[in-house]
Amino acid sequence: MLLLFVAAVGGVWLGQERIIALFVQEANRYLATPVKVGRMEVSLLDQFPQVSITLHDLRVSGSLPQDTVPLARARRLYFAFDAWDMARGHYRIRAVTLADGQVRVSHDPQGRANYDVIRYDTTATVTDQPFAFALENIRLERVGAVYDDQQRQQRYAVQVHDVKAQLDVEDMLVGVKAQGTMLTGALQLGSDAYFRRKELTLNTRLRVDRAARLVTIEPSELRVGAAAYSVAGRVNYRYATTLDLRAEGRNTDVQSVLALLPARLVSRLSAYRSRGDVYFGGTVRGEMSAKANPRIDVQFGCRNASLYHPALKQAVEHIFLKGSFSNGQAQAARTSVLRLREVRGTLQRRPFSGDLRYENFSDPSLALNLRTDFDVARALQFYPLAAVRSGSGTAQLTLQFAGNLRQFRARPTTAAVRSSGELVVRNLQLHLRDFSQPFTGLNGSFVLRRNDVAVSGFAGRLGASDFRLSGMLRNALPWLLLPGQQLAVDAKLDSRLLDFDQLLRLRQPTPVAGTKTAAAASPAGDYGFRLPPQLALQVQTTAQRVRFRRFRGQHLTGTIRLQNQVLSAPVLSVAAAGGRVSFRGSLDARQPQLLRLSSTVSCQQLPLDSLFYAFEDFGQRFITAHHLRGALTATAESDLYFDGALNPLTDRMEAEVNLTVRNGELNNFQPLQKLSMIAGRERLRHLRFAQLTTPVYIQSRTVYLPEMEIRSNVRAASLIRVTGTHTFDQQMDYHVSIPILPGLLQRTASMGTGPSLLLAIQGDEDNFRVTYDRSRTQAARPAPAAAPATGRKPGLGEIVKPAPSANTTVPSEPRKAFELKKPEKKPAQPQPDEYFDF
């Protein structure tokens, strides 16, 4: 045997040049495109016990002239033949092995193939030639294969691990048996990728009639995991490719089917698993070309199956379903129909059922009928929603919808669709992702009438606030299903308590780049305010109690409107601090970081101390709730601006306030103690006045107080005139005029003809001083040239003039709500220890 082996090796070595020459001569008879080979050799060991011709670094060009990528390339290609054939002088290639290679088959945009590399010689027979191909076995090892059809936009990529194929050639008939394993990269159809990264096991039998150009697929099987998919039928490629195929799935489940589909269709379902009988089968018949598609009919379903999520430990059980798909008589998307019939099952013993028909994939129409009773917590565990943190309670839903989806998307209000249904919620609790407070105790019903929803008795709580809502949600269905649609709410809202301290903290403001709030992160306690552009409101509101910081109100009534992110109230009225306040105005929220509130506010008989306490002394400490008593009646027109966290933008604020205070008191006001020279400290400690009426202006972070008269209980200062300014930085500049004539001369002083004590109060809240107002005294002193020509000496009443009026106005920028008139501000030159000027 050793001698025989040595003799065989020697014979192969001695005859390899002749064998290679015969192989090249024979191969050139069949090749229509160039083939480049690094080197060739004849070996007895590579494919032992067969003798092989081994081609190293092979490169096969494609048949398209513009091809730059080769049809095939491989590190090694083995052609094997029997030693007995070689001994008889006949070299018959019985087996081919391709190892470590890449094959790329393609069609260009015109449908031309790149694999027409073989030409057939029908004039010669196998016995005529000393060297011929008689393939019985083909083997692929570690070969990547790509099929790219640019005309149909299809691309298939697989990595063959080890596939063995057997060929039986009888004249023009070729039988193929193949089995092996491979890994699919993806089967790309258009923009969708199927079978992505799946390990496949192939077992197929084919019969190819080259004369009739017919491929017959005997029952073949493709396994993906435990699931098996069988295919049988015929493919005729004489002219256009014509298919007649039958397919069936066995041992399949939901995950095995979902694993074959594109990620965009199953990304949220891929974690689910199923048990039970899941089946499908179908046929593909007809021409498949650039101009035509075959007829596809598929039936699928399940019997007593269950669908569950391993991580959530939740399952839908006892699922029954019958489904079908067909691309219709025209074998096109416009005649395609998907149907789901007799769908039923249970989720935590709560039943659901329904039917669905989806037809005309080019211009789809949908008919849906759904009935379900579900536990919200279980449903959210089984199918989590990103917008919902948690939930509980029960709900019953019935829904019917039928219509054309394109028309519904284009014209939701006028499209010919039919929709109806009802949602009933009981003891529902929801904690939404973007809300800090949960909805609790929700009960009510929602009845769908075409696009609108009628709300009946919908009640619950949001944090500490409660509500009861009844009315109509107009255009609710398009708003729920389509982007950019508006929801119009026409309803009546009743509440026992509205806690705006919580409601305004429901959503945190979103900083915008380039703004001050973007530079520093807002603290967690900041308020936030945002009005959705797709929301419109007309809500009649009644609330027994209203709460915001220190403010406590009762019996709030009025109408709230919202349109195009502008919130308005024609009239809102609330009882607060022992009086009544009414509000009329609008809030423009179209710029999230620049909210504008234009309003008119009026109040009647509000206690001053309660008002100052409720509004936290308006952010200052100079005059507080402890200093004031009296009843305030006022009207205020204002333009106020806020950022997204409801922080006031005081540099933009403008307001005009007309106020009247009756039965007023100014108690324990420290600046009055500086006037002890005109009255006792005890009397100044409790300064009373019957009525005070004056306008107040606010602009440029400054409160302007025109000259006003205060008639007090202090006989020595029964008439006090005050004017001045107070900035938002708590810088004060007040000017006070006090008549100084005693007894019967008070009447003269009250007429503005007597001498006055002129004082200035200047500084800030914590460090202020009361001084002689020298600037006003000099302005009041008559000029020498104005002395009468008669030579008469001026009297006391002519020398000591009353305090000049401070009503001199300066032009201001035009305002939309009102025109602000503020007094002229004159620089003060206080001189200490000077109080009288005669």
Q: Which amino acid is present at 754?
A: G
pLDDT at res. 750: 47
Average pLDDT for residues 700-705, to the nearest whole number?
82
Residue predicted with more confidence, 836 or 731: 731
The answer on 541 and 486 residing in a single domain is no
Q: What is the pLDDT of residue 176?
A: 81
pLDDT tens figures, 762-790: 888 677 787 877 776 655 555 554 444 44
The answer to whether residue 471 is domain-embedded is yes
The pLDDT score that the predictor gives to residue 148 is: 85
692 and 826 housed in the same domain: yes
| Phi/psi at 676 (5° precision) | -65, -10
Does residue 68 sit within a domain?
A: yes
> Does the pLDDT of residue 803 top 70, yes or no?
no
Terminal-residue alpha carbon distance, the chain:
149
Q: What does residue 160 show for φ and ψ, rounded to 5 degrees?
A: -80, 125
Q: What is the mean pLDDT of residues 523-539?
A: 76
Range in 114-123, 324-333, 479-488 with the lowest mean pLDDT: 114-123
User: How is 385-452 classified by DSSP, letter by letter?
Assistant: -TTEEEEEEEEEEEEEEEEEHHHHHH-TTTS--EEEEEEEEEEEEEEETT-SS-EEEEEEEEEEETTE
Q: Do residues 550 and 453 both lie within one domain?
A: no
Residue 669 vs residue 781, higher pLDDT: 669
241-274 pLDDT per residue, tens: 888 999 888 777 766 666 666 666 666 666 777 7
Q: Per-residue confidence at 114, pLDDT binned at 50, 70, 90?
A: confident
Comparing 25-34, 400-409, 560-569, 783-792, which segment has the lowest mean pLDDT? 783-792
- Position 514 in a domain: no
**Do 688 and 830 fall into the same domain?**
yes
- pLDDT, tens digit, 9 for 90 and up, residues 321-362: 999 999 888 888 889 999 999 999 988 788 999 999 999 988
Residue 734 has what pLDDT?
A: 81
Please give the average per-residue pLDDT across 87-110, as a whole number.
77
Domain count, the chain: 4
Distances, alpha carbon 754 to alpha carbons 480, 749, 802, in Å: 76, 4, 6
- Whether 801 is covered by a domain: the verdict is yes
Q: Is the pLDDT of residue 460 over 90?
A: yes
Beta strands in 740-786 (DSSP E): 756-764, 768-772
Of the residues 151, 177, 207, the one at which a domain ends = 151
Looking at residue 809, its pLDDT comes to 38
CA dihedral 800, 802, 806, 808 (to 10 degrees): -80
Contact by Cβ (8 Å): 280, 257: yes
Q: Do 740 and 824 fall within a single domain? A: yes
If you average pLDDT over residues 157-182, what whole number do you get? 80
Q: According to the model, what pLDDT value does residue 307 have?
A: 80
Higher pLDDT, 636 or 419: 419
Higher pLDDT: 814 or 265? It is 265
**Residue 373 within a domain:** no
Within a domain: 544? yes
Domain extent at residue 405 = 385-490
Q: Is the pLDDT of residue 810 over 90?
A: no
What's the whole-number average pLDDT of the chain?
A: 76
Q: Say if residues 837 and 740 touch (Cβ distance below 8 Å).
A: no
pLDDT digits (tens, 9 = 90+) for 131-164: 555 566 778 888 888 888 887 777 888 888 888 8
pTM above threshold 0.85: no
In degrees and rounded to multiples of 5, residue 64 shows phi and psi of -90, 130
**How high is the pLDDT of residue 790?**
43
DSSP codes of every residue in 600-653: EEEEEEEEHHHHHHHTGGGG-SSS-TTTEEEEEEEEEEEEEEE-TT--B-GGG-
Residue 745 pLDDT class (50, 70, 90 cuts): very low
Indicate if 475 and 544 belong to the same structural domain. Answer: no
Condensed to tens digits (0 to 9), the pLDDT of residues 294-305 reads 899 989 888 888
Backbone φ and ψ for 332, nearest 5 degrees, come out as -140, 170
Last residue of a domain, one of 96, 126, 151: 151
Q: What is the pLDDT of residue 518?
A: 38
pLDDT at 789: 45
Q: Rounded to an integer, what distance in angstroms lies between the CA atom of residue 824 and that of residue 743? A: 34
Task: Look at the alpha carbons of 450, 456, 461, 462 in this order and tell me if their dihedral is positive or negative.
Answer: positive
What are the tens digits of pLDDT across the range 34-81? 888 888 887 765 656 667 778 888 888 888 877 778 888 888 888 777
Residue 10 pLDDT class (50, 70, 90 cuts):
low
Residues 549 and 444 occupy one common structural domain: no
Question: Which of 419-428, 495-504, 688-697, 821-830 is modeled with the greatest confidence?
Answer: 419-428
* Residue positions counted in the chain: 838
Cα separation, 151 vs 129, whole angstroms: 41
Residue that finishes a domain, picked among 151, 183, 211: 151
Question: What's the pLDDT band for 472 if we cut at 50, 70, 90?
Answer: very high
Domain shared by 739 and 660, yes or no: no
* pLDDT attached to residue 782: 54
Label residue 746 by pLDDT band (50, 70, 90).
Answer: very low
Token pair of 188 as six digits: 């790309």
Q: Is the pLDDT of residue 92 over 80?
A: no
Residue 344 has a pLDDT of 92
Least confident of 92-101, 162-171, 243-252: 162-171
Largest CA distance in the chain: 163
Residue 495 lies in a domain: no
Joined together, the tokens standing for residue 608 give: 């001053």
Q: Within a domain: residue 511?
A: no
- 116 — pLDDT class (breaks 50, 70, 90): confident
**H or E segment and range at residue 85:** helix 83-87
Q: Does residue 30 sit in the same domain as residue 82?
A: yes
Question: Are residues 477 and 548 both part of a single domain?
Answer: no
Q: 801 or 327: which carries more pLDDT confidence?
A: 327
Please indicate whether residue 608 or residue 807 has the higher confidence score (pLDDT): 608
From the list 258, 254, 290, 293, the residue with the least C-alpha distance to 275 is 254
Per-residue model confidence as pLDDT tens digits over 178-202? 888 888 887 777 777 777 777 888 8
19 shares its domain with 102: yes
DSSP 246-258: EEEEEEE-HHHHH
- Give the type of residue at 628: L
560 and 483 share one domain? no
What are 493-526's pLDDT values in tens digits?
A: 999 999 888 888 766 444 444 444 433 334 444 6
